Structure 1
Amino acid sequence: MKALKPQLLKLHRWVGLTLAVLLTIQGLSGMSLVFRDEIDRVIHPALVVEPAATRVPVQALMDAVEARHPGVPVSRAEFPLWDDGAVLFKLTAKDGTRWLTAVDPYRGVIVRDGSLAAWPGEWIFLIHDSLLAGPFGETIVGIEGFGLLFLALTGPIVWWPGRKRLKQGFKVITGRGADLKWRTLHRAVGASIAIVLVMSATTGVLMVWKPEFRNVLRIVTPVTDKPAPKVPEQPSATMVPVDRLVAKARAEYGPTELRQIRFSDSGRVAAIFLESDLTIRAEGAKQIYYNRYDGSDVGHYVSGALPVGTEIVDWLITLHTGMFGGTATRLLMVVAGLSLAGLSASGLWLWYSRTTRGRKRAPVTRARAMAESA
């Protein structure tokens, strides 16, 4: 292993340098998304509303949004975890323009409305998810994930000081120059957070290539795909109010809290997302798909009642975001994101410092060689 360390260190260094800027972006954007909902309530005070005795029907909220943006279809509605939170509607125009509209669920009035640029949290999510570049950006993020996985696995190998000097490996040396201080800090932080970065990189890569991961799992265990129902267009027909669909979902699948409504197939299919009481997974949902013309059930996907392989796939996002252990693990993911950004930045600085010193030494070395040969 000692013989391999120099080669691993060289590979570790060059992979880190190649991906440093992108990994810094991923680290900072990821850490800011862990408490995204809480942060949004702070930077957008209008999202905090005054609770009342009754709520406006969801269909009426949706009608208000569609009146504000005629011809722009609603893609989803997100319902807050807090009683004093606004309902957030997301819309996407035919030209790809995204809009987000928040509505007071007790009064039915729009409290905040704007394009993507007016919602930093959504913008940062799209950066983290796809670098604002769609499927191509997702592929780049996946490649980054492989790079981070390599760095997180090789870093501890290169760092390993041996059992007898283990404490020394976590010591940050100060007072002997900036280069040594940052090098020892880089190694100590990298070794300390490596396991978390391995988990983050692995889950991130698997989420980018989730269909392929599902197919691999199918080799050893059954895996259920999410429904993708299609409904023929009926130009003269009216659609069932979404409140009736929500009521039907609660009656048939359990009266748990409504968390999302997602629309697909040009709005002809509505997926009602209810909290799942069948799983311990944070954000596990009972997803029921309805034909919006007649209210018929055209598919369902219930967390906690799915094959083991499917549950494994669904746990990826929970692990990646740190939701699996509540506030403590979410804070750990914040530390991991900040550490990733710091490791990337310090790695760049160390390379720059090393390169600068090498350039300064070169003239001196040449002068000595010339003097010795004279």
Structure 2
Amino acid sequence: MLASRTTLLLLHRWVGLALAAFLVCEGLTGSVIVFDDALDAWLNPDLFDVAARPGLPPQELIDHIEAQRPQASVSYIIHRPPPGRAAVAFLSPRGGAPLAEDEIFADPATGRVLGGRLYGGCCVSRRVLIPFIYRIHDSLALGVFGQWLLGAVAIAWALDCINGFLLTLPPHLVSRRQIALKQWRLAWTISLARGGIRRLFDLHRAVSLWLWVVLFGIAISGISLTLPRSFERVVAYLLPVQGAADDPPAADARQPGNLDRMEDAAWHAARAAGWQGGRPSGLFRFGGTTTFYFSQDGTTRGTGFGSWHVRIDASGRTQVLHPGTGRAGDVVLALQLPWHDGRLIGLTGRILVAVSGVATAMLSVTGVLIWWRKRRSRLSMARRRLAGSGDALGKRRKSDHSVKRLTLTE
């Protein structure tokens, strides 16, 4: 048991040191982007704030935006935002030339474009700060390679969470259960009477225990968001997953006037499936499919398991997707994003995830400090032993020299 515990401790130490810089970065950026919409609006009120008035139908609003940006077409838009907020549209180039601005903000009541930006552009100006932080969190601003790298980090972190939890358990939990459980209760507390490295250790261990479920869930959801296909295959292998419906046939869903009729059809389909809210807040067009998003908070993400989706093509065929329903594997897959950004339980969940992000950075820093102080202590002890050995050797040599002189004198 001692050897296995020593092995776990070594793994925890070196995996923690290897991941420390990544977890500090991901923890702090994650705490920021939990409230990305509010922070972005605070930094850029000229883009987000408008007079609260009834909005245009989606097709008319998109036509107004595309008329002001003739080199692009709208592929995604929040056309029914919360009152007082601008409509947000993402553009795709009509030709091969890249766009100088691919995110546009418009007054939903008139379609007048308020301004735009290159989403995720570099670096720290107020216009792009929040999207850039999101890009850092999502891929370290390294594209696909960064996502793969963070996927590996998330896997290692999830395993290290399990390892760290095992290390908090007393070594004699089975043989001396009552005594061991009393010892384990102490692991959840921080003793202010202790000083130096012991207080650091208490802080590191107690915070990780209190937030363990949240942190482990964030690590798992991090795997699902950076390596989605691999994660889906693993979930489908371990748990039953409802078979995906066939994709709607390819058709031109961008015909003028179609979107308003499609929205009506999508809304009726959602209500027939049990939706009790209002009309969709946003839509996404790709190929021949248009997806409408229904949520109670005026976003396309929603709360709980997320927004309802209704996919519809130009022929009128619809497909209603209600997150959190289906078989066990479907529920697990739907859980990942709302767990990661805290929207699973609304504002409380977002605050908890933001606190957990700061705690993740703190745990990484305290782990490094604990290792550094122990290492410095070991080096100091080794130097003292070496100095003591040198003194003993010097005394022995001096004694031998005195005996030799006495022998020669005699």
TM-score by length of structure 2 reads 0.77
Q: Does 1:313 align with 2:340?
A: no
CA distance in structure 2 between the aligned counterparts of 1:45 and 1:111, rounded to whole angstroms? 11
CA distance in 2, matches of 1:114, 1:226: 36
2:102 and 2:385 map into 1 onto residues whose CA distance is 62
Residue matched to 2:407: none
1:284 and 2:293 matched: no
| 2:63 alignment counterpart | 63
Partner SS, residue 328 of structure 1: helix
The answer (yes or no) to whether the contact 1:148–1:197 under 8 Å persists in 2 is no
Q: Which moved more, 1:98-107 or 1:304-313?
A: 304-313
Which moved further from structure 2: 140-149 or 309-318? 309-318
1:178 aligned to 2:196? yes
Partner letter of residue 168 of structure 1?
Answer: L
- Is the Cα contact below 8 Å between 1:174 and 1:180 reproduced in 2? no
Q: CA deviation at 1:70?
A: 3.5
The alpha carbon displacement at 1:98 in A equals 6.2
**Structure 2 equivalent of residue 188 of structure 1:** 206
Q: Distance in 1 between matches of 2:267 and 2:339?
A: 28
Measured in 1, the distance between the counterparts of 2:246 and 2:22 equals: 34
**Structure 1's 305 and 184: CA in aligned 2 closer, same or farther, altered over 3 A?**
closer
Once the two structures are superposed, residues 244-273 of structure 1 have per-residue CA deviations (whole angstroms, 9 ceiling, x without a partner) of 3212322343373313211213xx532222
Distance (Å, rounded) in 1 between the aligned partners of 2:373 and 2:80: 48
Q: Please, which of 239, 247, 250 is the counterpart of residue 231 of structure 1?
A: 250
Q: Which amino acid aligns with 1:286?
A: H
Match of 1:264 among 286, 295, 310: 286
Residues 305 and 323, structure 2, Cα contact 8 Å, conserved in 1: no
Q: How many residues align?
A: 363
User: 1:146 — aligned with what?
Assistant: 155
Query: Shift in Å at residue 192 of structure 1?
Result: 1.6
**For the residues of structure 2 that align with 1:312 and 1:38, how far apart are their CA atoms?**
28
3-state SS of the aligned residue for 1:77?
Answer: strand
Do the aligned residues in 2 keep the contact of 1:36 with 1:121 (CA within 8 Å)?
A: yes
Q: What CA deviation, in whole Å up to 9, does each residue of 1:316-355 have, x standing for no partner? A: 2122222222222222212211110111122222233333
Q: Which amino acid aligns with 1:285?
A: W
Choose 163-172 or 133-142, whichever is displaced more.
163-172
TM-score (norm 1): 0.84
Q: 1:133 to 1:299 in 2, by over 3 A?
A: farther
- Classify the secondary structure of the residue corresponding to 1:297: coil
Q: CA deviation at 1:238?
A: 4.6
Counterpart residue identity of residue 103, structure 1? A
Alignment correspondent of 1:48: 49
Q: In structure 1, how many angstroms separate the alpha carbons of the residues matched to 2:303 and 2:341? A: 15
SS in 2 for 1:329: helix
Partner of 1:248: 265
Deviations 1:213-258 (A, max 9, x none): 4444545534243765563679xx9544422321232234337331
Distance 2:250 2:16 in 1: 48
- Same amino acid, percent of matched pairs: 23
The answer for unaligned runs of 5 or more in structure 2 is 122-126, 171-179, 272-276, 297-301, 395-410
Name the structure 1 match of 2:388.
368
Partner of 2:4: 4
Aligned to 1:203: 221
For structure 1, the residue ranges without an aligned partner over 5 or more in a row are none
Higher mean alpha-carbon deviation, 13-22 vs 153-162, is at: 153-162
Q: Is the 8 A contact 2:293 2:307 kept in 1?
A: no
**Cα offset, 1:27, TM superposition:** 1.1
Distance change in 2, residues 1:79/1:23 (3 Å): farther
2:145 to 121, 124, 136: 136
* Residue of structure 1 equivalent to 2:365: 345
Amino acid at match of 2:319: H
Offset of 1:56 from its aligned partner? 2.1
**Which is worse superposed, 201-210 or 100-109?**
201-210
- How far apart in 2 are the matches of 1:226 and 1:84? 38
- Choose from 79, 100, 103 the match for 1:100: 103
